[in-house]
Structure 1
């Protein structure tokens, strides 16, 4: 795979987001519907031949299972298909960073941020469990945090329908499903798993958010599984003294060895977490650590590319009615503009183009804000009154489209 490759004569790949042992995820662009997407590939030739049939089933299962979960905390699935020898899933492009990267960057999150993220994960788990699904591989690498602090749960590839028949069929390959550092004791022992296994994994993730390390550490996978099954539950306040007692107790219950000793449901856990999720630091860590090149679907600007060339590239995209992608290209360029340069002779045309493109894409509320902001910045600059008036007129048009009052 390489940038500018086309999939199904519709999706243009822009750059890779991530890579696993048997697949890749690319940022891309849906030319037909003018929107950014993520394209996840299963590289069949990279899968050992003996495991290909199971890998294909799990990949298709991920698409079907994720598509069934109509929840804001689950990326929307747009398409499933075959590209050459590979399978692909087209899904919503989530702008943000992995929770694992956030923890690595901050070492440990605030109590409020940790509780907020965990409560949002609970909301997704509640929806999955209501649909008779167990995720079975919840971990920080499968949780995305957006710049606004919203959470998305990814990778339902090893999710299973609740029930012993489904469990035995899926584990017929002889492999323990899940990730050792976050696996429930019953899952580690090969027993049938239910929603309580996801709550245990959530406890492991919450412990790591609060302390910067998972609850158990070991030199190898077998030792890790043994620790989950046999080692005493760690007490979080021994690693971090400012964790409230009630939250520490909830965490202790989530990590109980016996599934029946854990909370009854994800809904209950979310309710217990909510009081701790309130506060100014509840979304701490969401914005500043989002890597730009891991979230944009725009064509990469060439090193040393002038603003005029960027503008011309955006115009070319707009000519093909790729308004969203063109707007993202300009926004990506303007992101690094200092406040002093916002009314510079080269920057103002880009800002006006950006507002026009956002309006053409149908996001009238945001376009109105962009026009109004440009008018305010230009007001009083001299020789710019015609452009200020034009921005006000276009903002007024956006208000009309939104059904907002236009008097005065």
Structure 2
């Protein structure tokens, strides 16, 4: 940005952290604060700034986020527009998400995985207690700090939990989600509840220990078909240090039928806290994945996706459909 565009409202854009298909994430400094407090700004890209659908999605994310107050969930503070650019003001936290960390392999987080999984689950459980279903649980949507602190982000396609008549007459307008992590009922456009997020979270846990998603496909439709009909894989096949108890727990979370999964994230947490992830405790790696963050290198580097992780795109060209 040129100097004349270095500010959005009172926030000076200090560093570009990440670029997505519709938004940029900046580290920004509040020049009006006495201590120059830093925030993260999620700014719609210029090409999307007038798109009614993108504007509605950003406002929806703000409305969901402002209703959530947990140390396990990123704080969403403000929704503003300046110079024709709508943006959210967020708590500044680690810029590394699980997906980025896993590019170095599962060993990058293995030594503190117990803490990461527990905090990731606590954030999701809290969201469910506020009657929101996230619907896009994936490694990209969990930020992880050097000490293992973990926060849930991105509420763009979250929906309120349906009850009563609204539950009986629910029909999805469009199928939304990320293909590598979508539950069978989400793929079919049916009603999603806590157990749909549990399925997606099970896919995340599989990837955290195996280093790859549970299902991949030659085509996007092939990938979706595997969620619907393929046998549920065990992470032990890819990592023999995973305990049978933890592997069986992840498989139950990824059951095809919601009734065969844990009823709630709280039920998962109770079982997980009594379960060992590893047969042998992993060592801290000599080179930390957090040492390689280094901020933004290039837009292309930040938005590329590993093979097999197909994202549904809608007319707005987001990773949703």
Q: Would you call these one fold, judging by a TM-score over 0.5?
A: yes
The change in CA–CA distance for 1:285 and 1:139 in structure 2 (over 3 A counts) is: farther
Matches of 1:22 and 1:285, distance apart in 2: 35
- The 5 Å alignment of 1:152-191 reads 152-163=151-162, 165=166, 171-172=172-173, 174=174, 176-191=175-190
Report how far residue 243 of structure 1 moved. 1.3
Deviations 1:237-285, CA, capped at 9 Å, x for gaps:
2222221121111111001000111001111212222243699968957
- Alignment partner, residue 41 of structure 2: 39
Once structures 1 and 2 are overlaid, which stretch shifts more, 145-154 or 232-241? 232-241
Once structures 1 and 2 are overlaid, which stretch shifts more, 212-221 or 101-110? 101-110
TM-score scaled by structure 2?
0.81
- Alignment partner, residue 137 of structure 1: 136
Report how far residue 292 of structure 1 moved. 5.0
CA RMSD of superposed structures (Å): 2.9
Matches of 1:250 and 1:116, distance apart in 2: 17
Question: Are 1:6 and 1:12, in contact at CA under 8 Å, matched by a contact in 2?
Answer: yes
- Alignment partner, residue 113 of structure 1: 112
- What are the ranges of 5 or more consecutive residues in structure 1 without an aligned counterpart? 296-408
The change in CA–CA distance for 1:110 and 1:155 in structure 2 (over 3 A counts) is: closer
- What are the ranges of 5 or more consecutive residues in structure 2 without an aligned counterpart? 297-321
- The 5 Å alignment of 1:230-309 reads 230-275=229-274, 276=276, 284=284, 288-290=288-290, 291=292, 293-294=294-295
Q: How many residues align?
A: 289
- Alignment partner, residue 315 of structure 2: none
- The 5 Å alignment of 1:81-92 reads 81-92=80-91
- Partner of 1:223: helix, strand, or coil? helix
Bigger relative contact order, structure 1 or 2 (CA pairs below 8 A, ≥6 apart): 2
Question: Are 1:146 and 1:287, in contact at CA under 8 Å, matched by a contact in 2?
Answer: no
Q: Which one has the bigger helix percentage?
A: 1
Once structures 1 and 2 are overlaid, which stretch shifts more, 251-260 or 73-82? 73-82
Matches of 1:192 and 1:158, distance apart in 2: 14
Question: Are 1:183 and 1:201, in contact at CA under 8 Å, matched by a contact in 2?
Answer: yes
Matches of 1:55 and 1:42, distance apart in 2: 8
Matches of 1:144 and 1:74, distance apart in 2: 9
Choose 1 or 2 for highest CA Rg: 1
